[in-house]
Structure 1
Amino acid sequence: MIWRNIASNFLTLAIVLLIAAAAAVAWAKREFSGPGPSAVAQCVQIAPGASLNAVSNQLAAQGAISNAYLFRAGADALGKSRELKFGSFLMPPGASMEEIVGAVTSGGASTCGTEVLIRVGVRENSVILRDMNPETGAYEDMARWNPAEGARPEPIAAAEELADVRLSLVMAEGVTSWQVVEALNAASFLTGEVAETPAEGSLAPDTYLLERGGDRNALLARMAERQAAILAEEWEARPFGMPYETPEEALIMASIVEKETGVAAERPQVASVFVNRLRQGMRLQTDPTVIYGVTGGQGILDRGLRRSELDTTTPYNTYRIDGLPPTPIANPGRAAINAALNPDETDYLFFVADGTGGHAFSRTLDEHNAAVARWREIEAQQGLPTDSPVQTDG
């Protein structure tokens, strides 16, 4: 009888323990997968080489998770305890531990935290120190520096030395290779001397993540590989009958299209004008090529072209030479390359600025002259000089 009571009590205890264990497991799953404790967005930063234990304690301390042990146990149960990725990741309010584990183990581009951004622009290069405001999800500039204007500001210099600061470069469409090299030379955290400026047009405009101590030449090689791949893909998919004998000729045209318009939707129309002119044996007559012949791609021309410059025959003066110039005049993006190889089907032979930031396109010289007259009126109303040459004016 005694043994029967002991067995009965043991069985009852076992059942109670099983129920308690099941309840604990259910609670743990709810805690791990349910909404987290943070009422605001959190920037979760993972340092290089950080352990899961250190990360879980950090997250608990900043209020992103409710239980460091449960976070580690859940990551281990998912088989991701050894898959932490370096970076900074923005987590929305109420992010669950499961969501945070997924973010910090899948990697990818950082989405928050402090960043030193090198921006290679058409008019100037700049270095920007900025930080993500977790509450708004927007980056806010903390310091900005133009390398052409004096010494590097102390906040930027200090940030470049911090291990947890993200470093990146944004190369705009239409910048020259010389401008890219100038920007890389201004990045004190990079290494390696660039002995020769890469061929014009050979670098792909894009965003590039950088590493402290990274080699400038290796980065330029990465940019060139990307551009070569883009050009090969677009050339392979080109339609029949385009007036280019080589991919390089298409790249030259793409660079002209890139420099002629800042309106993305206009690229195929602008390309159609130049393709129509090539097919009809007309000169391209485009100012950006002449400007490149004057500057060599080293900086911008902060004035209008002079009549003497338009009248001088150079390899880039498309008012004086037939066909394309010998090289690209900038580094075009994929959209411009695509437009050069897939222009709109139009009868346009001319275009001129229309005062809205875009252009007025014309089929005949009479239509074009009328559009030019309207543009001259706009120039006069805006107090702009009206004696500058007009693009593709026949």
Structure 2
Amino acid sequence: MRRLLLLLVALALIAGGATFLSWTGAGPAPKAVAVTVPEGGTLRSAARELEKAGAIASADRFYLLARLFGGEGTIRAGEYEVPKHASAREIVALLQSGKTLQRLVTIPEGMPSILVHEKLMATPLLTGSAPVPAEGSVLPDSYSYQRGERRAAVLKRMTAAMDKALAELWAKRKPGAVVRTPQEAVTLAAIVEKETGVPAERRMVAGVYSNRLRIGMPLQADPTVIYPVTKGKPLGRRILQSELHADNGYNTYARAGLPLGPIANPGKASIAAVLDPAPTKALYFVAKGDGGHVFADTLAEHNANVARWYAIRRARGEM
């Protein structure tokens, strides 16, 4: 009966000379538009939003067409990107599909928490504030969010993702891992993350640092010297001698062992590397000029590698 009534109303509109929007014809939008259906939104309220956005010409006519030809599916809440010139049929199908617009905020591997906070605060379609997360508590990844979502909610998903990933990786740790707790794994993984950008080297760098930890040798990782100075942001200059000797709990030149905590947010691959380090006797590594590193078991070998690296830098005019 309701369908018949709607059909009669539609026919009455046509008979009265009103323009009747074609169900399958191209819509009026000259470009893609974003439309949000709030929780509890109805087809009628969605039609009004579509009209405001310019995706349809008339909310009333769209509503009638959707009731007549749109089937029994219900529309779903969320933000949608309606393609340019989408027909009424295509728009209804989109709203029923739940295929909402995907907006992403990406946290790169090794990003320190102060920059995670700045990135969240600079994302314009999020709302509210969020604290600076604890260092090492965020899992680097791309996270989807909706227009108007709270920054604190997005951050909560990031930290929950790290908790889940860390628990899974810790359960698979190998006997060769030197770290004793999940937090130590994150702390060492953050150093590995900062020391190499070459994925294939992660386990080897983790092996070097694991060897140093076993024998009580200082890690001597430059990023741990920089962290207390900048909280993870780029230093923008050479490390000072005073900074190399500063005993602040993070500087791994000043004392042996791990720093007080992570110096960045490491990715899954670096955490996995410290939980399954490469079996190696190497205690040293230095850059070799192509983005990677050369490793050495003895100090004599290392000094020769350093001399070669300095020669490369002098040839480039860097020294």
8 Å CA contact 1:176–1:200 kept in 2: the answer is: yes
CA distance in 2 between partners of 1:367 and 1:108 (Å): 58
Q: Determine which of 81, 89, 92 is the counterpart of 1:88.
A: 81
CA distance in 1 between partners of 2:247 and 2:82 (Å): 55
Compared CA separation, residues 347 and 73, structure 1 to 2 (3 A): farther
Provide the TM-score with structure 1 as the length reference.
Answer: 0.60
Q: CA deviation at 1:224?
A: 1.4
CA distance in 1 between partners of 2:214 and 2:274 (Å): 14
Higher RCO (CA 8 Å, separation ≥ 6 residues): 2
- 1:182 pairs with 2:118: yes
The structure richer in strand per residue is 1
What corresponds to 1:147 in structure 2? none
What corresponds to 2:187 in structure 1? 252
User: Residue type of the partner of 1:307?
Assistant: Q
What corresponds to 2:315 in structure 1? 381
Q: Determine which of 230, 238, 241 is the counterpart of 1:304.
A: 238
Q: Determine which of 260, 275, 283 is the counterpart of 1:349.
A: 283
- Paired-residue identity, %: 44
- 1:231 pairs with 2:231: no
- Gaps of at least 5 residues in structure 2 are 1-23, 58-63
- 1:282 pairs with 2:217: yes
Q: CA deviation at 1:110?
A: 3.7
User: Residue type of the partner of 2:166?
Assistant: L
| 1:339-359 residue CA offsets vs partner (Å, 9 max, x unmatched) | 111222222211111111111
Q: What are the residue-to-residue correspondences of 1:64-143 with 2, within 5 Å?
A: 76=71, 80=73, 82=75, 86-88=79-81, 105-107=96-98, 110=101
SS in 2 for 1:88: strand
CA distance in 2 between partners of 1:289 and 1:84 (Å): 46
What corresponds to 1:206 in structure 2? 141
SS in 2 for 1:199: coil
| 1:124-173 residue CA offsets vs partner (Å, 9 max, x unmatched) | xxxxxxxxxxxxxxxxxxxxxxxxxxxxxxxxxxxxxxxxxx4x321111
- Gaps of at least 5 residues in structure 1 are 1-31, 62-68, 92-97, 112-165, 386-394
Q: CA deviation at 1:190?
A: 1.8
8 Å CA contact 1:56–1:71 kept in 2: the answer is: no
Compared CA separation, residues 208 and 355, structure 1 to 2 (3 A): same
Q: CA deviation at 1:53?
A: 8.1
CA distance in 2 between partners of 1:359 and 1:284 (Å): 16
What corresponds to 1:173 in structure 2? 109
Compared CA separation, residues 319 and 54, structure 1 to 2 (3 A): same
SS in 2 for 1:243: coil
| 1:308-347 residue CA offsets vs partner (Å, 9 max, x unmatched) | 2212323112112111001000011111111111222222
Q: CA deviation at 1:383?
A: 1.5
